C-alpha cells in the first residue's frame, strides 16, 4: 500500500476529506508491523512475536521499518519538539534539529508570549476547603 492509497482508504473509512495525522499513520504502521510479526510467528506467543518483530525489516506506506536492539525504529527516529517563540521547533535528534533545545525550559508565558494565568487556589475535593 502506498501513502496515497493509505490516505484514500482512511478518508473512505472515516468519511472525511481530512488527511490522517502523523500519529494516526504511525499507529497504523505499528499495527501492520505487529500483524506481520504475528503472521510470521504463526502464533500470538509473546516470545515468538517479539523475535519476529526484532528481525522485521519491511517497507510500509509510512516508510521503512526495522528495529534496533533497544526496540527503536532505525529508519524513523522520534522527534522531540519544544515550543519556542510560540511555534513548535524540532530540537532532537541533533541532525534533524531546526533549533537548539532551550534548558531550562522557559515558562509558558515566555514560550507563547502570553501572561501566565493567575494561580488558582487549591481546594480539597471532598470538602472544598482550601489547602495551605
Task: Enumerate residues 6+ apart whose C-beta is below 8 A from 49.
Answer: 34, 37, 38, 41, 43
- Distance in angstroms (rounded) separating the CA atoms of residues 50 and 44: 10
Q: What is the pLDDT of residue 108?
A: 78
pLDDT tens digit sequence for 37-51: 999 999 999 999 999
- Distance in angstroms (rounded) separating the CA atoms of residues 79 and 92: 6
- In angstroms, the Cα distances linking 26 to 62, 73, 124 are 7, 11, 40
Q: pTM here?
A: 0.60
- Distance in angstroms (rounded) separating the CA atoms of residues 31 and 89: 28
Amino acid at each position: 500500500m502506498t501513502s496515497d492509497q493509505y490516505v484514500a482508504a482512511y478518508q473512505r473509512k472515516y468519511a472525511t476529506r481530512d488527511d490522517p495525522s502523523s500519529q494516526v499513520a504511525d499507529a497504523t504502521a505499528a499495527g501492520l508491523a505487529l500483524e506481520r510479526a504475528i503472521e510470521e510467528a504463526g502464533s500470538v506467543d509473546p516470545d515468538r512475536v517479539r523475535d519476529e518483530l526484532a528481525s522485521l525489516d519491511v517497507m510500509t506506506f509510512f516508510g521503512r521499518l526495522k528495529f534496533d536492539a533497544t526496540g527503536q525504529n532505525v529508519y524513523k527516529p522520534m522527534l522531540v519538539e519544544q515550543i519556542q517563540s510560540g511555534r513548535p521547533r524540532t530540537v532532537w535528534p541533533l541532525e534533524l534539529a531546526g533549533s537548539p533545545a532551550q534548558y531550562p525550559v522557559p515558562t509558558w508565558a515566555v514560550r507563547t508570549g502570553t501572561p501566565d494565568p493567575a494561580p488558582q487556589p487549591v481546594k480539597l475535593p471532598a470538602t472544598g476547603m482550601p489547602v495551605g
